[in-house]
A and B are shown apart, each in its own frame.
Chain A
Amino acid sequence: MNTLEQLAHGFSVAFTPINLLWCLLGTTLGTAIGVLPGLGPALTIALLLPITYQVAPEASFILFAGIYYGAMYGGSTTSILLNTPGESATIVTALEGNKMARSGRGGAALATSAIGSFVAGTIGTLGVAFLAPVVVKFALAFGPAEYFSLMVLAFITVSAVLGSSSVRGLASLFAGFVIGMIGVDLQTGQPRFTFGTTELLDGVDVIIAAVGLFAVGETLYMASRRYAGKDEIVPLKGSLYMTAAEWGRSWKAWLRGAAIGFPIGAMPAGGAEIPTFLSYAIEKKLSKHKEEFGTVGAIEGVAGPEAANNASAAGVLVPMLTLGLPTSATAAIMLSAFQSYGINPGPLLLTTQANLVWGLIASLFIANVILVILNLPLIGLWVRLLKIPAPQLYAGILVFATVGTYGISQSPIDLVILYLLGAAGFLMRRFDFPTAPVIIGMILGPLAETQFRRAMTISNGDWSVFYKHPLSLTLLTLAFIGLVGPHIWAFIEHRRRRGPEHVPGDA
């Protein structure tokens, strides 16, 4: 009851006209920056930090929270329509979402992602309000050994995105590992694969790689095929929003996505990308429409990951508000805003600043409602982008990708990387190598490496940590089942079907 009372009090803080206005401003701004690749919520909030000198703490946190949630909504729009992910958490959305847009269901893809974001965002925010103390205990039990085992599980499950040829898929995945290794090695401080270039010391930004491989590569490919293939504008098929069948396929994916995203988001090293990979793999496995994945686009493949990334965005707030632990760049900057007010974020935040924290949580609910109201009518506008003839549209994508990439750190080197990867993306497309595994390798590879080396440093080289910790063992067992389970299942099925033939004389 106490929680409900506090939440009610939080709503009374958030429901003042001025705070509602801040929330509207934040969500609008967030949606806009989410759409632009390169400009993320962390950078935006950092640039808006001086506002803390002028307005009340409640107002600025409501603004920041709106930006944070808004960016998660906006990031999917360009992924779906232009194959240009605006945020790293929406890279997976591009896989099926863009395929759907190409087959005339762009509106449905946008709708399922907006409504899915609303559903998952609301579930996640409820989680923040009611489950935070429990979830944070679970999240802290994750040490390097557990994270490494989680990565193993993720690697097994992402085999779903490797494409039809596993050799090509693995080649792409390993290329991703190599790109992910570029930069200063965190464990030893030594540069790897930087070839003496200072700008490469910080590694290659995942967003640049995704935009290069997906958007630039695709554009070059389309340009090369200009006169070879048909060039027609795909008409919108069916309803602008979702059909009954699409609702039926979406809602379970939303719930599963939220269930995966929230706890992983709450983990200090969980991040927003891994839950989207896991959700995608699960949806592909469970879908009754497997043939749509990678061809015309399966709506589950958009609904699940979109829900997962929004739920994980809520999950990130759990360690931040309960322990003062910033587990993402955005959370770290929000914490520095607390400091501008002389508030020290920590385990006592919830008791010493109850007004602020519950006002923030309440405004997250409001932000979610505003965002879905804001985004659904926009769909009609967004899908018109697809009516632009291909040459103009692709030229526009190229400009958009270039400007967005330059916006990340104003470094010309980033543009060189963008176009090198674009050329690579074109060749991969031409010779039928899937590009998504490159991105997955870039994200998971270095994480797995770092956690593995940390675990081994802490255990002083003793391998047994991976199976002596119960959580780690559970994750490894799940990974093992995921790896051999389908084969055993197929074998049993095979035997059952062939069974009678092996029994001569039996009718």
Chain B
Amino acid sequence: MLNRRRFLMSTAAAGAAGLAGLHLTPAFAEGAPQIQIFVPAAPGGGWDQTGRTMDQVMRAEKLISGSQITNVGGAGGTVGLPQFISQWNGKGNSLMVAGMVMVGAIIANKAANNLTQVTPIARLTGEFEALVVPAESPFKTAADFVAALKADPTKVPVAGGSAGGSDHILFGLIAKTVGVPATSLSYVPFAGGGEALSALLGNQVAAGISGFGEFSEQVKAGALRLLAISADKRQDGIDAPTLKEAGIDVELFNWRGVFAPPGVSDADKAAMIALVETMAKSDAWATECKNRNWTPILLTGDDYAKFVAEDSARIEAILKDLGLA
């Protein structure tokens, strides 16, 4: 897949790649394994960045000699997942990047395959979400927002990512917790990128929910006001309460992690967990996480499997309330 694309690119560029000094063919280091990373999304998104950052860090730390990244994008990962299950079965040196978005997509798309069919290795990072309002908004605190929502949810249009995604799920959880029926909400989905942000900056909607990183610079510049974040505890350098502190008992991380294919041996599984754990504890990984606003929330093996199962159940319930599952 990617090697084909790389081939195409390198022929198109005719030697340009060599000039750029890219690692198109990874150098082999003694002893370190070669791994394969399967990204069920197009290049450029969060999972792809997770995969590529892992590759960079593991290579820099000499944990692997190189890796091959394969992208199979589409439908929140539900196009790639069946391929990973059937075609990568038993390949002990491979990892698939996935996360909460895939859990939601599996439920909403009524996909035939799910994450219980693959081997959980580790949860790596999470991005907590932020509830923001335009600077001119009358809502000064999360309580103001909740009061307005309780008074008439149809008058509080909230912008966020695609329907059924993490932003929509958080909005549903907030509403459920404060006793507003999820079906009465006025949620305005935008297709990623800057569209939801521009609707907020242009004062088109009452509030917005998205990953904290999407909003942080606008908050710093004073264009948006941060009402609350969905993290488990207060964050250094962020001047806003968590939802729990604001009286809304909700916590949500848009988590990302890695899975091995089905049918891998216990020895391979243990080796892979050790490899990923070493990477996640390296300084290089910590630096990357800091640059990208990822919160490291490492969880491995069976604990991770249990977490995935619980989160799936929670997401399924809220998607049912929202009328999406």
Contacts and interface: CB of A to CB of B under 8 A. Distances in A.
B20 interface: yes
Given A189-B164, A345-B217, A454-B188, A460 B155 contact: yes
B48 A46 contact: yes
B198 A325 contact: yes
Given A339-B291, A342-B291, A319 B42 contact: no
Contact of B204 (A45, A143, A329): A143
Contacts, number: 195
B79 A198 contact: yes
Given A188-B163, A198-B111, A348-B221, A50 B16 contact: no
B13 A28 contact: yes
Interface in B1-60: 1-2, 4-6, 8-9, 12-14, 16, 19-23, 42-44, 48-49, 52, 55-56
A458 B221 contact: no
Contacts of B154: 460
A348 B43 CA distance: 27
Contact of A326 (B55, B164, B194, B205): B194
B223 A201 contact: no
B75 A202 contact: yes
B262 interface: no
Nearest to B287: A342
Given A333-B44, A460-B186, A346 B220 contact: yes
Contact of A458 (B9, B108, B198, B204): B204
Contacts of B202: 140-143
A189 B163 contact: yes
Contacts of B75: 184, 198-199, 201-202
In this complex, the interface size class of chain A, counting residues with CB under 8 Å from chain B, is 35 or more
Nearest to A198: B79
A323 interface: yes
B218 A346 contact: yes
A39 interface: yes
Contact of B194 (A32, A325, A407): A325
A271 to B, nearest CB: 11
In this complex, the interface size class of chain B, counting residues with CB under 8 Å from chain A, is 35 or more
A187 B157 CA distance: 13
A460 B154 CA distance: 6
A142 B199 CA distance: 8
Interface string B70-81: 001111001100
Nearest to A22: B20
Contacts of A286: none
A460 B190 CA distance: 17
A168 to B, nearest CB: 32
A44 interface: yes
15 contacts: A28-B13, A29-B13, A32-B13, A39-B5, A45-B44, A46-B43, A49-B43, A51-B21, A184-B162, A186-B162, A199-B74, A202-B75, A339-B292, A341-B291, A409-B73
Interface of B: 1-2, 4-6, 8-9, 12-14, 16, 19-23, 42-44, 48-49, 52, 55-56, 72-75, 78-79, 82, 108-109, 111, 154-155, 157, 162-164, 168, 186-195, 197-199, 201-202, 204-205, 216-218, 220-221, 223, 290-293, 324
Pairs of residues from A and B, 3 with the lowest C-beta to C-beta distance, nearest first: A346-B217, A325-B194, A46-B43
Given A39-B8, A410-B5, A460-B157, 20 more contacts: A46-B44, A47-B2, A144-B199, A186-B191, A198-B79, A199-B79, A201-B79, A202-B74, A323-B201, A323-B218, A325-B193, A331-B193, A332-B194, A340-B292, A344-B216, A345-B217, A347-B221, A407-B4, A457-B186, A458-B186
